[in-house]
Amino acid sequence: MSETSPEGPVSVEPPPGMGPNGYEYWDVETRTYYERQDDGTVITRPYNEAENQQANAAANRAVLVDCIKGMTVLLSGDIASNKAFAALPDLTSDEGRAQVDALTAQSNRQAEMLAAIARLSLGRFESVEVEIQ
């Protein structure tokens, strides 16, 4: 069992997700821990520091995964637009500038995606901020 708050655990009704035979329940949304005692009562307490860090890491991991999924959808469009540009016979300076802008945006997105992939592979979920140096 995890540590209790200084005030001690509080007896409550079981939360809807706990079920009649559930021993413990972690409510990530409210950051509350519930535990059924041997006598059937349910006590509750807020998450402790370690539990909050773990919940933050799980939430940040989910954000990174969603970020990567969203960016991978854009890759095929990036490739298609680059192929279309490369097939142009005569380029105007405006088309060249537009392509440089498009390539810059693609490069930035891909750098963010690589940073997210690196964080996932290294298990670094303390934040979702991307710092490119």
DSSP string for residues in the chain: -PPPPTT--EEEPPPTTT-TT-SEEEETTTTEEEEE-TTS-EEEEE--HHHHHHHHHHHHHHHHHHHHHHHHHHHHHHHHHHHHHHT-SS--HHHHHHHHHHHHHHHHHHHHHHHHHHHHHHT--S-------
pLDDT score recorded for residue 1: 47
pLDDT digits (tens, 9 = 90+) for 41-70: 999 999 999 999 999 989 888 888 888 888
pLDDT digits (tens, 9 = 90+) for 60-112: 888 888 888 888 888 888 888 888 888 888 888 898 888 889 889 888 888 88
Q: Where are the domains of the chain?
A: 10-47, 50-122
pLDDT digits (tens, 9 = 90+) for 17-47: 898 889 999 999 999 999 999 999 999 999 9
Task: List 36's β-bridge partners, or say none.
Answer: 42
Total count of residues recorded for the chain: 133
Say what the pTM is.
0.63
pLDDT score recorded for residue 6: 55
Query: What distance separates the 2 farthest-apart alpha carbons in the chain?
Result: 82
For all residues of the chain together, what is the average pLDDT? 85
